[in-house]
Amino acid sequence: MFKTTLLERRQVAEGTLELAFKRPEKFAFHAGQYLQLRLPKLLYRDRRGASRVFSIASSPADKERIIVAYRDTGSGFKQTLRESRIGSEVIIEGPHGFHLLPRQPARPVVLIAGGIGITSFMSMLRLNAERDEVARPHITLLYVNRSQRSAAYLDELKHFEKKSARLTVKTNFGIIDEKFISTSVKNKDQCLWYIAGPPFMVESAQGALEAMGVDSGRIYCEEFPGY
């Protein structure tokens, strides 16, 4: 458990906020992990209390900050967060989770992000943008949002894609379906598949992959409940 402070808040898409906290020196994590964020006091009532779980969106190589992002639904917890002053104290617990890329993946990787499910993948892609390219497999990011305005981090992702021969970013506005996946990814049989997002999006993507004949042992899912 670590006490830390809020450094920055910014909007990264329609109805979507990103918060940066000071990274405690001893807070170590891997790209793909999540934390529990606890507020010392709620300004608004919230049935689920004063904490939520968020994937870490910053790179483990960023020693200064820990970043999370979320859709601002208006829950008492998130209203309190929205009004929290810069410099105010919060508690983070963690890291937790195993939605991690293998250390030396022998296969190409496909990341399927449904909306805010992009957060944990941002951590992986931000880390990759700082590392040597040679030993890395090709990564294809399939990023599905309701609309362009609700798609967080599009510019940053396009920038990463431009700089790397080992990253392909494909966006789709609407729903995740078999056609989008199959037209975006070559050598489907060889890939490792990672899916993250709201439960209905994860289910749709998983269903589409299984309908395409992808071995379920190569599909790794992380659901963000509450959406």
Query: Would you tell me the crossing angle of helices 118-129 and 154-163 to the nearest 10 degrees?
Result: 40
Q: Do residues 70 and 28 touch, judged by C-beta distance below 8 A?
A: no
* Binds ligand FAD by CB under 6 A, chosen from 27, 29, 54, 121: 54
Residue 224 makes contact with ligand FAD by CB under 6 A: yes
* Binds ligand FAD by CB under 6 A, chosen from 66, 67, 92, 116: 116
Residue 163 makes contact with ligand FAD by CB under 6 A: no
**For 165, what's the count of Cα atoms within 13 Å in the CB-facing half-sphere?**
4
Q: Which helix (H) or strand (E) holds 126?
A: helix 118-129
Residue 126 makes contact with ligand FAD by CB under 6 A: no
Residue 217 makes contact with ligand FAD by CB under 6 A: no
Residue 50 makes contact with ligand FAD by CB under 6 A: no
| Residue among 29 and 108 whose Cβ is closer to ligand FAD | 29
Compute CA distances 183 → 112, 146, 173, 177, whole Å: 14, 19, 15, 10
| Residue among 70 and 180 whose Cβ is closer to ligand FAD | 70
- Residue the block writes with tokens 């890329």: 101
Residue 98 makes contact with ligand FAD by CB under 6 A: no
Q: How far apart are CA 51 and CA 37, in angstroms?
A: 5
Minimum distance, C-beta of residue 157 to ligand FAD, in the bound complex (Å): 16
Amino acid letter at 16? T
Residues 19-38 that bind ligand FAD (CB under 6 A): 34
Binding site for ligand FAD (CB under 6 A): 34, 48, 52-55, 68-71, 73, 75, 77-78, 97, 116, 119, 222, 224-227
